[in-house]
Amino acid sequence: MNTNPLNTEDKDKLFGFLNGDLSTEALEQWLYYTPDLEERLGKEFYFELIDTNYRNKQVRHELKKIVFQNYITTDDFNEWKLHALLKKSGWFKDRNLEISNSTFPSTQAFENALSIINEFGRLKFNSNETHEEWTPTLLEFLTEPYEKNTDEFETNISLVCFAYTHNAHVYLYVDDNNNYYTDNIAGDFLYKYTGPTFDQLLKEILQIVDEDNFEKFATSKKITQEKAIRNKPTALHSSPTKSFLTRLWNWMKD
């Protein structure tokens, strides 16, 4: 791997090109006319970049193979993609959304939800897949948290909602211990997030990484075999070969 860490400007140029946000011409301008770029990137990495054929229609694919095999990890790229999406949606460092209602219950779950909403409240992320009449929403953070009634499930934990996902068909919750949960559309199951960090949760929801760390945590006391949502059946729990997020996304596209 390249031993010279990329600064923010260099990441925005290189990763922006690999992500399809920057044109070939703009990347070449950066490569050929940026002072001290060879020193910043390292001689080997720099010459790999300028030796690439940018007239090739598959140049992004070819360059990804070179970059990720030898110089930069895909984790670095995915971390950049997440922060690029956050900044595009209006997020900035030390963001602190003012919440009008200050009379929330004084529980740790509400405190955890408020902490998330302070930083991400009102932010909305749409899918790249558009349809004629609508654009699917992958994630939308609330402006105020609210408590979920968990009496219907075989659990007594306190859950507070802080975001909608997948066109507001599914909700994201947090508990007293900063564990995250979601439910399926029919409300039959509660899923717990088992991934390592909140950033990783965002990457999965926003489809930056092809992973799904939600595991079934609790079952409703009365499971309905078939339940209609807007006059269409939901069978999110009927396909064991697909992950929870994959089945949810496929349901939205039907």
| Domain residue limits, the chain | 8-72, 88-231+239-252
**Whole-number pLDDT of residue 154:** 76
Residues 33-48 pLDDT 10s: 999 999 999 999 999 9
pLDDT at residue 100, rounded to an integer: 77
Distance of CA 32 to the CA centre of its chain: 34
Query: Residue 116 has what pLDDT?
Result: 97
φ, ψ for residue 180 (rounded to 5)? -115, 150
**pLDDT tens per residue across span 91-134:** 999 999 988 777 899 999 999 999 999 999 999 998 776 555 55
Tokens of 115: 């902490």
pLDDT of residue 129: 60
Rounded distance between C-alpha atoms, residue 55 and residue 25, angstroms: 10
User: What is the phi-psi region of residue 207: left when phi exceeds 0, alpha when psi lies from -120 to 50, beta otherwise?
Assistant: left
One pLDDT digit (tens) per residue for the chain, 254 residues: 555 778 899 999 999 999 999 999 999 999 999 999 999 999 999 999 999 999 999 999 999 998 998 899 999 999 999 999 999 999 999 999 988 777 899 999 999 999 999 999 999 998 776 555 556 788 999 999 999 988 888 788 999 999 998 777 889 999 999 999 998 776 788 999 999 999 999 999 999 999 999 999 988 876 643 443 334 555 555 445 557 667 665 655 55
**How many C-beta atoms lie closer than 10 Å to residue 204's C-beta?**
19
Check residue 140 and give its pLDDT.
Answer: 95
Distance CA 220, CA 237 (A): 13
| Residue 232 pLDDT | 53
For the chain, what percent of residues have pLDDT higher than 70? Answer: 82
160 to 28, 64, 191, 213, 240: CA distances (angstroms):
49, 40, 14, 20, 28
